[in-house]
Amino acid sequence: MTVKYSKICLFSKRFQHTFQPFDIVLARSLAKPNEKFHLSQPLQAGKTINTGNGPLKHEDIIGKPYRSLLTTAQTSSHKYMLCKPTMEDYIVNRRREAQPIYSLDAGLIVQLSDIHVDFPEMEIGDALTIEPPHSFQRLHIDDPFDERLLRNLTERYESLRQDLRTRQPPKQYMECGTGHGSLTLNICRAIHSGNAFYNGNNSTRGAILHSLDRNEKHLSVGIRNLKHYEKGMYWPDVEFHLLNNMDGPTLWLKGEVGSYYRDVVGCQNAEGFLSGAFLDMPSPELHLSAIASNLLTECPLVVFVPSVMQLWDCLSLIKRQGIPLSLTRVCELMAGSGGGGMREWDLRRTFVRETGQESMVVRPKVGIRVVGGGFIGLFKKLPADSVVKQWT
């Protein structure tokens, strides 16, 4: 019995969680663990975490078990606990060029969209031979992290069969406004299983997220945040696209890149090719018609805006132009908390019975509160034969 127990102990020690090269570490001050903490860059020998009380060397962290204690190089009086950051820790503490959607709020947005992606069904067949248009991925071979990411992807692709393809076209999603990459990461968490057999060719993809942004600086930060999270595990799930200053999703959908993913990867489905869309951008109402025409029936279009009246603008345009979208929910992310809370709103047009005049209803629904600023509008694509009741 003793021998068996000792073997189990040796086995558990061998496979206990330790920090490895290119991991991200959250170093918490032991004196004030919830107030003073520092998020590292991917761990590499020769680099340090600057704490203000002296540096923590990356090589001293690599190989240490999770939640180990480490003192700075300058003094032994300042101890830090080495923790594995949560997605929320990671998003909040990464360098930013754009205001992030906090992780719990982004998680709620994805949850409201109700997207689900399973492992794809595969079959033996020919791969796509048409090369995809250039995307804005920004990997640099002279960067050790990027070089390792490319090497790992190459090894992964080579280990998979090259004569496989999915039975159905991949589920494709569009995100307009990469920004900090918070929403990108949360969408990837929902669709990641669709790319279990992805071998580098789009014919083996079960899901694709297209992340669009006009601002190159914002896009570059979002890309870096995505590829550094969990050593780039979500990197194959996303195609990043840099738009011209005057371009938007409408022109992207009509352009070369959008046409490729609609007609080649999406197999020219007349109904559409997008299984969902997320808009976090100025004037989203200008692009509702183009997105709706490329959205599959009953799939979600999620609009995230600072003001509830912007959702009213979206609803008004839909009703006046007869766009085949139905507003199903309006929710408010509570300002300032970033705590993943929201309350539901009532947003509709009505007629006052006494006067017969038109009026707006814009108010929180009484008694409905889910412990989160901004407003989320959830629209669903209507069938092609639907008749949208238009406003005059």
In the predicted model, is pLDDT for residue 368 greater than 50?
no
Q: Kindly report which listed range (78-82, 149-153, 278-282, 347-351) carries the lowest average pLDDT score.
A: 347-351
pLDDT grade for 299, boundaries at 50, 70 and 90: very high
Average pLDDT rounded to a whole number, residues 225-252: 93
CATH class of 89-381: alpha beta
**169 phi, psi to nearest 5 deg:** -60, 155
| Higher-confidence position of 47 and 78 | 47
Closest to 36 measured CA to CA, from 103, 83, 99:
83
Mean pLDDT of 364-372: 45
Average pLDDT over residues 325-349: 74
Q: Which amino acid is at 315?
A: L
pLDDT above 70: percentage of residues in the chain: 87
How far apart are the C-alpha atoms of 105 and 176, rounded to whole Å? 17
Mean pLDDT score across all residues of the chain? 87
| CATH top-level class of 2-85 | alpha beta
Give the pLDDT confidence score for residue 72 in this predicted structure. 86
**Which pLDDT score, from 0 to 100, does residue 289 have?**
96
pLDDT of residue 139: 83
Burial (CB count within 10 angstroms: exposed 0-12, middle 13-18, buried 19+), residue 255: middle
When pLDDT is averaged across residues 83-93 and rounded to a whole number, the result is 94
Going by pLDDT thresholds of 50, 70 and 90, the confidence category of residue 353 is low
pLDDT at position 338 is 54
Closest CA to 203 of 128, 263, 150: 128
**What is the mean pLDDT of the segment spanning 231-260?**
93
Domain boundaries in the chain? 2-85, 89-381
The reported pTM is 0.87
Handedness of CA 263, 243, 338, 332 (dihedral sign): negative
Tokens of 60: 């001293």
Which SS3 state, helix, strand or coil, does residue 48 take?
Answer: strand
Higher pLDDT, 387 or 88: 88
Tell me if domain 2-85 and domain 89-381 are identical in fold: no
pLDDT at 189 over 80: yes
pLDDT tens-digit series, residues 105-143 = 899 999 999 999 999 999 999 888 888 887 787 788 889
Q: What is the mean pLDDT of residues 350-372?
A: 53
Cα-based angle 144, 148, 149 (whole degrees, multiple of 5): 115
Question: What is the band of 363 on the pLDDT scale with cuts at 50, 70, 90?
Answer: low
Give the C-alpha separation, 340 to 338, whole Å: 6
